[in-house]
């Protein structure tokens, strides 16, 4: 079920899903209104007499005009959108185009224009005026006119949205919002009190002493590990008396035939007991944000690194990325990171995997930006300010040590690249708050 939920979320977030739903709704709406038009004579109601279409030629003309205009506007608007996205991809990276495709307004606009075209075609097909029968679906035509008016308003909203969505501040803000939602869903449990988080002191080999039989599951194809249903693996391990060791984390790239999972058992394995384990993971050609906490971080880092490239040289965009990453890392100082071991009710290890750590998240957020920041004092100084702010939020020695390590590397960049002695003295003064603090 976990794999199905993952696939459903991916489908729901795809560019075509919402437009298809809107088109199906327009088909149902057209069919329903035509049935109503056959059952009720709207033209006989005096309140509607001034807005109804009384002749078949007028009905065909209205519907043809609306349908032609909608499909034409749809093509023009999305041609302009592709040009804008092409320009945005050159600045922010082509991997961020997926974010634009996932925007609901883009999907709604596409679905609305195309569905209006489909709606008008269906209604146009039932308009008849001959010697045996005359049928003019007045209510359906009235709804088509109202939809066309709504589409004009939607066009104005869409143009405004596109013009703002490719601005650097908006792109960074949207990624930061998605990152925080993803982080909050993955790290839903906060630490209580000031007690230092502890890790199990025993090595994995200690727990594997009574499980001599080993079965290795290989990656069936090359690609990124997009989904891993750890709870299902844990339950399967309990049911079969296994210890399952995951060798890769979600977001890792796997090569076909590479070891992915190892199963440890007290008895010999049977084909039936291991055949269903492949349903607990998904491998695809791109990383996704559902279980990959570092995915959006890497998107933010890519924008910052591109901004610091000699061809762009936009330190303000890089600084904006640093500020948003700082907010995320401050939040992570008080969340509970998952343990690398999961035990059953009898305190027996059942599942071991590679967990996320605060050190790893901090490295993913700032290592590459620091490497690209050489030659941009403003960015290096903001990196140090970020470390100071994060350090003020940390309460545990492991977190403080990780922040201190980054501050030392940032200071080293300043000492190697700053040409002005005043800038270097400013950096040393700022770093004093972190580097001269005693470890707790």
Domain of 244, CATH number, reads: 3.90.1170.30
Per residue of the chain (440 residues), what is the pLDDT tens digit?
556 766 777 677 677 888 899 999 999 999 999 999 888 776 555 555 556 776 888 889 999 999 999 988 888 877 877 777 777 677 776 666 666 667 788 888 889 999 999 999 999 999 887 777 788 888 899 899 999 999 999 989 988 888 787 777 888 888 888 888 888 887 777 766 555 666 665 788 888 888 888 888 888 899 999 888 888 888 888 888 889 899 888 888 999 999 988 889 888 877 766 766 767 888 888 888 777 888 888 888 988 998 898 888 889 999 999 999 999 999 998 888 888 888 888 888 888 888 888 999 999 999 999 999 988 899 999 999 999 999 999 888 889 999 999 999 999 999 988 888 888 888 888 888 787 754 44
Q: Are residues 107 and 242 in the same domain?
A: no
- Give the structural domain span for 42: 2-166
pLDDT of residue 43: 59
Q: Within a domain: residue 182?
A: no
The residue from 284, 319, 345 where one domain ends is 284
Q: Within a domain: residue 181?
A: no
pLDDT of residue 45: 58
pLDDT of residue 191: 65
Q: Are residues 237 and 359 in the same domain?
A: no
pLDDT of residue 438: 45
The answer to whether 344 and 350 have CB atoms below 8 angstroms apart is yes
pLDDT of residue 437: 55
The residue from 119, 137, 166 where one domain ends is 166
Q: Are residues 133 and 249 in the same domain?
A: no
Q: Are residues 233 and 267 in the same domain?
A: yes
For 404, residues 6+ apart whose C-beta sits below 8 A from its C-beta are: 391, 434, 435, 437, 439
Q: Are residues 225 and 159 in the same domain?
A: no
pLDDT of residue 3: 63
Q: Within a domain: residue 7?
A: yes
The answer to whether 333 and 391 have CB atoms below 8 angstroms apart is no
Q: Within a domain: residue 195?
A: no
Q: Are residues 64 and 119 in the same domain?
A: yes
Q: Are residues 380 and 400 in the same domain?
A: yes
Q: Please give the tally of structural domains in the chain.
A: 3
The residue from 253, 284, 315 where one domain ends is 284
411-436 pLDDT tens trace: 999 998 888 888 888 888 888 878 77
Q: Between β-strands 134-135 and 128-129, what pairing exists: parallel, antiparallel or unpaired? A: antiparallel
The answer to whether 403 and 362 have CB atoms below 8 angstroms apart is yes
For 57, residues 6+ apart whose C-beta sits below 8 A from its C-beta are: 129
Q: Are residues 158 and 236 in the same domain?
A: no
């Amino acid at each position: 079920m976990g794999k199905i939920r993952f696939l459903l979320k991916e489908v729901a977030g795809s560019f075509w899903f919402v437009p298809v739903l809107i088109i199906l709704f327009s088909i149902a709406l057209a069919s329903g209104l035509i049935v109503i038009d056959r059952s009720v004579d709207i033209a006989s109601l005096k309140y509607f007499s001034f807005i109804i279409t009384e002749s078949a030629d007028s009905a065909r003309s209205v519907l043809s005009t609306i349908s032609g205009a909608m499909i034409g506007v749809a093509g023009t608007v999305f041609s302009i959108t592709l040009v804008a996205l092409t320009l945005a991809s050159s600045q922010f990276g082509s991997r961020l185009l997926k974010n634009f495709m996932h925007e609901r307004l883009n999907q709604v606009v596409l679905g609305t224009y195309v569905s209006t075209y489909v709606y008008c075609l269906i209604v146009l097909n039932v308009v008849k005026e001959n010697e045996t029968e005359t049928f003019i679906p007045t209510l359906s035509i009235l709804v088509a006119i109202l939809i066309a008016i709504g589409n004009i308003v939607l066009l104005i909203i869409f143009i405004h949205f596109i013009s703002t969505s490719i601005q650097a501040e908006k792109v960074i803000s949207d990624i930061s919002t998605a990152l925080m939602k993803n982080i909050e869903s993955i790290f839903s449990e906060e630490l209580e009190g000031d007690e230092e988080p502890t890790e199990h002191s025993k090595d994995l080999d200690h727990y594997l002493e009574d499980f001599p039989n080993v079965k290795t599951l290989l990656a069936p194809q090359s690609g990124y590990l997009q989904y891993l249903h750890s709870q299902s693996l844990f339950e399967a391990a309990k049911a079969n008396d296994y210890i399952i060791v995951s060798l890769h984390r979600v977001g890792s790239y796997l090569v076909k035939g590479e070891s992915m999972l190892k199963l440890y058992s007290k008895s010999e394995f049977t084909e039936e007991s291991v055949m269903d384990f492949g349903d607990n993971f998904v491998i695809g050609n791109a990383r996704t944000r559902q279980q990959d906490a570092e995915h959006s971080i890497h998107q933010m880092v890519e924008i910052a690194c591109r901004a610091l490239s000699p061809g762009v040289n936009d330190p303000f965009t890089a600084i904006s990325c640093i500020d948003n990453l700082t907010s995320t890392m401050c939040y992570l100082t008080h969340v509970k990171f998952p343990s690398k071991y999961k035990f059953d009710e009898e305190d027996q290890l059942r599942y071991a995997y590679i967990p996320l750590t605060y050190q790893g998240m901090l490295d993913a957020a700032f290592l590459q930006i620091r490497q690209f920041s050489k030659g941009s004092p403003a960015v290096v100084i903001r990196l140090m300010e970020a470390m100071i702010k994060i350090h003020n939020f940390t309460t545990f020695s492991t977190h403080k040590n990780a922040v201190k390590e980054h501050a030392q590397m940032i200071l080293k960049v300043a000492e190697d690249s700053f040409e002005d002695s005043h800038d270097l003295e400013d950096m040393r003064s700022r770093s004093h708050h972190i580097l001269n603090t005693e470890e707790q």
